[in-house]
Amino acid sequence: MTSVALNPAPVLSGADHLLGLLAEAGVDVVFGYPGGAVLPLYDALHRQDRIRHILVRHEQAAVHAAEGYARSTGRLGVVFATSGPGVTNCLTGLADALADSIPLLCIAGQVVRTLRGTDAFQEADILSMSRAATKYNVGIHEPEALGSLLRHCITMATTGRPGPVLIDLPKDIQALEAPAALFETDAGTLTLPCRLRAGGGDIDAAAQLLRTARRPIIFSGGGVINAGPAASDRLRQLAQLTGAPVTSTLMGLGAFPASSPQWLGMPGMHGTLEANLAMHGCDVMLCVGARFDDRVTGRIDGFAPGARIIHIDIDPSQIGKIIRVDVAIAADCADALRQLCDAVAGQALPSLADWWQQIAAWRARQCLAYPDRADVLLPQHAISRLFAVARRYDPIISTDVGQHQMWTAQYFGFDLPGRWLTSGGLGTMGFGLPAAIGAQIAHTDALVINIAGEASIQMNIQELATASQYRLPVKIFIVNNERMGMVRQWQERHHGGRYSQSYAEALPDFVRLAQAYGWTGLRVETTTDLESGLCEMIKTPGPVLLDCRVRCEENCYPMMPAGAAHNEIAVCESEGSATVVS
Amino acid sequence: MTPTAAATLLRLESDRDAGIPCRLLDLLTVQQRLPDQMTIDWQPASISFQLAFAVDASLPASLVARLRMLPGVRSVCTEALP
């Protein structure tokens, strides 16, 4: 007599199982590009309808698009790429996400297990290559470990200090058909760093410093954004309770409203005079979710010489790494700020009138003022007017890297987190357009603008096609100075005006290029036409590229030269390298 | 007489994950803090590392903290050698 199973377990492929787990984890969008080693995965995608796939034109752009999605939502960004060149193309994006602590999961195909180590077609040792570009990476060598490792990796990417995680997944495991239980056989282990909480003693010590400060400053970073909206709310509450001025790193813009009278602007190399001098002259600095990047600190031995420093960071290895601190709090920013608010609330605080009077004097220098010129379109004016025209739409702004990025940070005011997408740590040209696409996918009805340079935009210009394919109404505002502007500026200041290779003689006609991809292309060349051009860009349905021709030789000021301190800032062209002393 | 720092022994225990020795060495290389001696003991479900650093070699607290933050690392401790 033959026994027959009445309810045989349904059979599915490893790829089916993986997609099911991703969907259960809340993933609804994946950015990617197919290839030989991920064909089973793409076949499984075709069989399901819970996860939408966005086909990019280059794998680097897939990662940046996933970053744009993650940075604007706080959710996990997911990327699919094939083996070999597909996933090596992802490396810059992964390094970018690592530098800025962005939660990403990259699932890379790999050649079948029997061919591993044979120099097979499109075989690359991506685990070795991506180790330094990821928070964690792992190869799946047995189908039994698929489920547990995928769950571990999602947890790893999204908890603690977020970051990119890569899974190397052989094609034969994707294709293997088996009952679902097989892919869950091996529970696996992955020890996660322990979750740190603020201790009462450290909070009390920090609160005591804030209660006695005469010249306090709150200095926030991208960690406050990454910690979620609650952290931004607590930051605002603490600023209100203490009355202290607030400055934020490039990555932290939007956590505190730029429209607040307590906002000083960004500190650092291209920060405002008042932010830098307040950093230099403060007696207590509360640094929260920032890591004292060299672009912020300037010369270390001249950094905040009279300050007692409190440092809150979820990553304990960042505390004391660059700057000696007096109170170290290794904890989630939102949790620590909440405790700090509770400790400060209702307490009598000293008057900060003298401090604010000093700050007002620094503000009166109007370090971001620029000449009113009718003969030429200044980039500062172009971005200021873009802000004026666009702000009512609560736009999401992405940038590339260079002068336009710094001008946007200076002249575009951000009042909310998740509206400012920029490559801060790695400084990746080509980030802006795919990041805007990722943000637009997540926020269908939002006004998403990529402010780009004419050099940066060309590094991922092929993504114009992606926006066309998905009918995404992304806007691109090119600050076109026909130069790699920041390189040119440094060559002018530090290399004797020898403009080595910073001028690309052949630029495309961006308007016709945009039209070739199905976009609306516009151009503005004069101050007179700027306003109407901006309005047309925003009001024209669908994707629009506006080529804004600005003065080529304009430099970005204020500028704290490399190796200088916060009180050694050149504030405008006419002052050259003149120093400003508080 | 100038006092000299003692040699340091660093013990680290981790999951049995082949990526961890690589990440550990990459990190120490970037930080320019390679040990004089290093032993790796592969257990069925874990890996134990012992790294001996020379006299005067400093192991900043932020580096030790960073080792603790490596995924898969279970414990890190340091001790001064006589």
pLDDT digits (tens, 9 = 90+) for A305-315: 999 999 999 99
Residues of A in contact with B66 (CB under 8 A): 317
Q: What is the pLDDT of residue A98?
A: 98
- Strand residues in A485-575 grouped as ranges (E): 520-524, 544-549
Residue A493 pLDDT: 87
Query: CB A317 to CB B17 under 8 A?
Result: no
Q: Are A142 and A116 in contact (CB under 8 A)?
A: no
pLDDT digits (tens, 9 = 90+) for A147-165: 999 999 999 999 999 999 9
Choose among B22, B61, B65: nearest Cβ to A131.
B22
Mean pLDDT of chain A: 94
The Cα A200–Cα A196 span in angstroms is: 13
For residue A7, pLDDT beyond 80: no
Q: A320 vs B62: CB contact, 8 Å cut-off?
A: yes
pLDDT classification of A573: cutoffs 50, 70, 90: low
Q: What is the pTM of this model?
A: 0.95
pLDDT of the residue at A93? 98
Please state the ipTM of this predicted complex. 0.90
List of chain B residues whose C-beta atoms are within 8 Å of the C-beta of residue A193? 68-71, 73
Separation in Å, CA of A107 to nearest CA in chain B? 17
> What is the predicted pLDDT for the residue at A561?
82
Q: Do A193 and B62 count as a contact with CB atoms less than 8 A apart?
A: no
Q: pLDDT by residue (tens digit) across A245-260? A: 999 999 999 999 999 9
Starting at the edge strand found earlier in the chain, the sheet holding A475-480 runs A420-421, A396-399, A448-453, A475-480, A544-549, A520-524
Whether the per-residue pLDDT at B76 is higher than 90: the answer is yes
**Chain A residues whose beta carbon lies within 8 Å of the beta carbon of residue B14:** 191
Q: Is B31 on the interface with A (CB under 8 A)?
A: no
* Two structure tokens written together for A433: 């357009």
- Give yes or no for A131 touching B (CB within 8 A): yes
d(CA A439, CA A437): 5
Report pLDDT digits (tens) over A36-85. Answer: 999 999 999 999 999 999 999 999 999 999 999 999 999 999 999 999 99
- Which stretch of A344-348, A542-546, B9-13 has the lowest confidence by average pLDDT? A344-348
Please, are residues A467 and A61 in contact by the beta-carbon 8 Å criterion? no
- Residue A190 confidence (pLDDT) above 90: no
**pLDDT tens, position by position, A112-155:** 999 999 999 999 999 999 999 999 999 999 999 999 999 999 99
- Give the span between the Cα atoms of A175 and A143, in whole angstroms: 10
Longest CA span, chain B: 48
**Side chain identity at residue A333, one-letter code:** C
Q: Which tens digits make up the pLDDT trace of A438-476?
A: 999 999 999 999 999 999 999 999 999 999 999 999 999
pLDDT of residue A71: 98
DSSP structure class, residue A270: T
- The contacts of residue A491 (CB under 8 Å, 6+ apart) are A497, A498, A499, A500, A502
Nearest CB to B73; choose among A128, A131, A191: A191
Predicted pLDDT at A99: 97
Decide if B1 touches A, using CB distance below 8 A: no
DSSP characters over A457-471: GGGSGGGHHHHHHTT
**Nearest chain A Cα to B73, which residue?**
A191
> What does the pLDDT read at residue A480?
97
The catalytic residues of A are 59, 121-122, 171, 486
Question: For residue B3, what pLDDT is reported?
Answer: 45
Residue B5 pLDDT level (bands cut at 50, 70, 90): low
pLDDT over threshold 60, residue A104: yes
CA distance A291 to A102: 15
Does residue A4 surpass a pLDDT of 60?
no
Interface contact flag, A192 B19, Cβ < 8 Å: no
Contacts of A133 in chain B (CB under 8 A): none
pLDDT at A574 over 70: no
The predicted model gives A546-568 an average pLDDT of: 91
Residues from chain B contacting residue A319 (CB–CB below 8 Å): 62, 65
- Which phi and psi angles does A177 have, rounded to 5°? -105, 125
Distance CA(A19)–CA(A232), nearest Å, equals 33
Report the residue of chain B nearest A319, measured CA to CA: B62
Instruction: Please report residues of A whose CB lies closer than 8 A to that of B17.
Output: 138, 190
How much is the pLDDT for A572? 76
Residue B33 sits at the chain A interface (C-beta within 8 Å): no
Q: How far is B49 from chain A (nearest CA, A)?
A: 16
Q: Does A528 touch chain B (CB under 8 A)?
A: no
The dihedral of CA A221, A226, A230, A233: what is its sign? positive
| Out of A196-205, A331-340, A482-491, least confident range | A196-205
pLDDT at residue A106 above 60? yes
Interface test with A, best of B69, B74, B75 (most A CBs within 10 A): B69
**Does B14 touch chain A if contact means CB atoms closer than 8 Å?**
yes
- Selecting from B15, B60, B61 the residue whose C-beta is nearest the C-beta of A189 gives B15
**With contacts defined as CB-CB under 8 Å, which chain B residues touch A318?**
62
Q: Do A135 and B23 touch (CB under 8 A)?
A: no
